[in-house]
């Protein structure tokens, strides 16, 4: 057994560059795991910097100085973000408040519907169990309301945190974009000398992360906008709230689409009942999801999502459980990172022929 482990170790870790790569990955893992909350503004800034690097690079290619390109792109991005925030937030907040206030009525109607099913189905449904489930859901709503009140009492802390983000994040984005090459050079100085594999993996992941963030932003905008317009045309209540929810659901591959289907179906059923209008909403929603999965995603992520759905779902569950929202957001790039490391890893059986490539 010991000889088997020793042989495996010699096959996988005989290259010093492989050991360096392991230590770099473990260090980054520990930093994000234990300092993720503290570094949250830097992570947000890094995501925005990746998002804005494409238009900045295009302006530079056209002959515009990088400093002017960065400032111009940041001003345009800030104006768009402010307009969307001011325009959408009041509608979303109002519709969310109205929906929460109507949830007890929706639950009561659902209970009445189940209790009045045809006789042939009543043998499978226990009236007492249904009432217990509805009462439990109502109690959870009460507890959620208490939690919201408690959160409102801590609004001062929330406001301070928001102000910190509003000041730090734009500054970090500005410096990340302006001094991109300088920052990368300084990072290389800090790395060990035997970093051939690390640089190879980084070169692949840097491009993939940039494409993924930009593609994900475009996907959210397209799916969210189309959903809001479709729900408004169908006269569905809470159209803005549900449409934005459908757009944001694409952040969680597969799972997000399944989760957001529930509120869309419940609201449509509560408003229209089992009628043609209800089925129109569900058909349109199904078409949006089909176009997203079969047209938008393949076009935007033709290289980044070259992973089996099983591995993507496992990555969402694993990294989301470790790093919360950011683990979910970067689940696909992180899964791709694992794949890139496996592909780049040298073994004795398959000697590495690119030792002098870097």
Q: What is the mean pLDDT of residues 85-91?
A: 83
Structure tokens given for 297: 């995603």
CB neighbour list of residue 126: distance below 8 Å, 6 or more residues apart: none
For the chain, give the longest Cα–Cα distance: 77
pTM of the model: 0.74
**b/e code 96-107 from CB counts within 10 Å (16+ = b):** eeebeeeeeebb
At 298-330, the pLDDT tens digits run 777 765 556 667 777 788 888 888 877 777 777
At 12-64, the pLDDT tens digits run 555 666 777 777 788 888 887 787 778 888 888 888 998 898 899 999 889 88
Q: How far apart are CA 315 and CA 309, in angstroms?
A: 10
Q: How far apart are CA 128 and CA 174, in angstroms?
A: 60
At 183-237, the pLDDT tens digits run 888 877 777 776 677 777 777 777 778 888 888 888 899 999 999 999 999 999 8
Q: How far apart are CA 251 and CA 270, in angstroms?
A: 27
- Judged on CB neighbours under 10 Å (0-12, 13-18, 19+), 33 is exposed
Q: Categorize the per-residue pLDDT at 144 as very low, low, confident or very high, splitting at 50, 70 and 90.
A: low
Count of alpha carbons within 13 Å of 36, Cβ hemisphere only? 14
């Amino acid at each position: 057994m010991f000889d088997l482990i020793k042989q495996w170790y010699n096959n996988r870790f005989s290259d010093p560059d492989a050991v360096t790569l392991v230590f770099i990955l473990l260090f980054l893992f520990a930093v994000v795991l234990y300092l993720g909350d503290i570094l949250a503004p830097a992570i947000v800034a890094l995501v925005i910097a990746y998002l804005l690097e494409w238009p900045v690079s295009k302006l530079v290619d056209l002959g515009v100085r990088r400093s002017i390109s960065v400032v111009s792109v940041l001003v345009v991005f800030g104006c768009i973000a402010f307009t969307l925030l001011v325009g959408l937030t009041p509608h979303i907040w109002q519709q969310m408040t109205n929906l929460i206030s109507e949830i007890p009525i929706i639950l009561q109607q659902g209970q009445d519907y189940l209790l009045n099913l045809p006789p042939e189905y009543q043998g499978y449904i226990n009236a007492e169990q249904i009432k217990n489930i509805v009462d439990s859901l109502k109690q959870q709503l009460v507890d959620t309301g208490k939690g919201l009140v408690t959160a409102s009492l801590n609004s001062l802390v929330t406001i301070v945190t928001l102000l910190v983000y509003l000041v730090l994040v734009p500054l970090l984005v500005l410096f990340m974009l302006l001094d991109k090459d300088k920052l990368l050079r300084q990072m290389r100085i800090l790395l060990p000398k035997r970093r051939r594999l690390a640089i190879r993996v980084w070169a692949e992941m840097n491009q993939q992360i940039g494409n993924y963030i930009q593609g994900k932003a475009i996907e959210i905008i397209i799916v969210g906008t189309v959903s809001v317009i479709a729900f408004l045309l169908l006269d569905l209540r809470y159209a803005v709230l549900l449409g934005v929810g459908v757009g944001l659901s694409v952040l969680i591959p597969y799972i997000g689409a399944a989760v957001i289907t529930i509120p869309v179906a419940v609201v449509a059923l509560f408003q229209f009942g089992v009628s043609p209008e209800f089925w129109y909403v569900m058909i349109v929603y199904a078409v949006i999801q089909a176009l997203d999965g079969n047209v938008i995603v393949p076009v935007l992520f033709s290289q980044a999502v070259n992973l089996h759905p099983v591995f993507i779902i496992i990555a969402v569950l694993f990294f989301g459980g470790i790093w919360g929202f950011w683990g979910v957001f970067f689940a696909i790039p992180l899964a791709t990172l694992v794949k890139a490391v496996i592909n780049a890893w040298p073994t004795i059986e398959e000697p590495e022929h690119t030792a002098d490539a870097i």
